[in-house]
Amino acid sequence: MQDLWRLSAAELAILIKSKKVSAKEAAMAALSRLEAVNSKINAVVDHRPEQVLKDAEQVDLGIARGEETGMLVGVPVTVKTNIDQEGFATTHGVKLRANLIAKSNSPVVDNLRSAGAVILGRTNCPAFSYRWFTTNLIHGDTKNPRDATLTPGGSSGGAGSAVAAGIGHIAHGSDIAGSIRYPAYACGVHGLRPTVGRIATFNTSRSEWPIGPQITSVSGPLARTIHDLRIALAAMSAMDARDPWWVPAPLQGPPMPKRAALCLNPDGLQTAAEVSAAMNDAGTRLERAGWTVEMIENTPPMREAADWQTKLWLGHDYEAQLAEAEREGDPGALACLYGNRAKVAPFDATAYLSALTRRATLIREWLQFFEKHTVLLIPVSAELPFADNLDLMNEAAFERVWRAQLTQIAIPFMGLPGLSVATGLVGRAPTGVQIVSGRYREDLCLLAGEAIEAGGVPPSPIDPLD
């Protein structure tokens, strides 16, 4: 059982539940894998082996007593450093927060543990989660295990890198502008951004979020199989009264026709040929699985949604954010804020009201779109995964990065779910497709994702490559 870390979360949970494998054995295998490869990719930046083994032993004791087991019983998972885990620093990739020790767990951590999962370690993110690259001044650089010259994505870059390299079976990430979907894409795994309100989140270690992040930011899972995303979503979406946005929506909605729209260039996105080829391949896979796929020229507004989302994300207390980033001195965070100053500042009460008013109109257009089309296939990014730290090269490179990420920034403004599905490789660079559906219809995204996944995915987990 040396290679337990290679199994899917679902496979491992079945073995543990049936007592063919112990949770402690699974934890030991996960820790062994972490020790073997993490030094090459720096995906996990904080972990306590003794606590991991102790938690696993408690799972085994519960099984021995005949207690009810959760769907992730004994499964080693990772969580991002931007959520509270009792006794650990919620650094968010920031030196200034090195001593911000959480006194309680985020609902995400509590829900994972309630489902039987064992928290293996905490994964890296860029400072303040501002970038689609993962490096900071407190934890250092995270590398993409498929190719160290490529970004592992961000802001959940440590999560994507860990899952791809076999460090944990499921990773927690968060997404306000692509921070789950892009690391999954860049690392050649799958990632689900749920609907706003699906997964309860809250950190006692920080002040209340402004309204923008409250209605656009989500937590969600990254994994190597679509089925693992499905069970992770079920585990993570349990009710928690600490999140007033949580919605008791069913995980399975009413049946819908297998009808997909495919748009290669939403709102004029200049999609690279390799990305278009992966999109067309995904459409063909759906057709083979019995779906009707309609090629469409455009979608409801994305560019406008992305502009408003950037304002909601970065505009509130922009000067205070900039002052903290300047104290931190992180080049990536400063590049993000300086590079977007003209787009977001000043963002006053009038601008806030305009954003929220326009948001209702755009949501309505998107929901009407999904009355006709069950799911929408669009690029995750206009380009293959970027060269690492491309955004720091020069002003033109920074603009290129932001221009390519249109679909990732736009979807959160409407609070919609989005699924990044890995489909293959171009050389070492992963390819994939993004699936979007109506609110609380993650089940439809996953249904289409399973059909696309059946056509082939990049090998995973893998040993890190230079």
Catalytic site residues?
80, 155, 179
Q: Hey, which residues does 109 pair with through a beta bridge?
A: none
Q: Are 223 and 189 in contact (CB under 8 A)?
A: yes
**H or E segment and range at residue 373:** none
The Cβ-side half-sphere exposure at 47, using a 13 Å CA radius, reads 31
Radius of gyration of the chain (CA): 20
C-alpha to C-alpha distance for 363 and 369, rounded to whole angstroms: 10
Closest CA to 221 of 209, 233, 213: 233
DSSP β-bridge partners for residue 91: none
Class of residue 58 by CB neighbours under 10 A (exposed 0-12, middle 13-18, buried 19+)? middle
Q: Dihedral sign, CA of 119, 422, 305, 375?
A: negative
CA distance 14 to 393: 47
Look-up: residue for tokens 């006194």? Answer: 103
Sheet containing strand 429-436, strands side by side: 44-46, 118-123, 76-80, 170-175, 218-223, 190-193, 418-426, 429-436, 375-378, 259-262, 292-295
End-to-end alpha-carbon separation of the chain, Å? 28
- The three-point CA angle 265-271-277 to 5° equals 100
The DSSP secondary structure of 62-120, one letter per residue, reads: HHHTT----TTTT-EEEEETTS--TTSB--TT-GGGTT-B-SS--HHHHHHHHTT-EEE
CA proximity to 174, closest of 122, 249, 230, 104: 122
Say if CB 303 and CB 405 are below 8 A apart. no
| 236 neighbors 177 (Cβ within 8 angstroms) | no
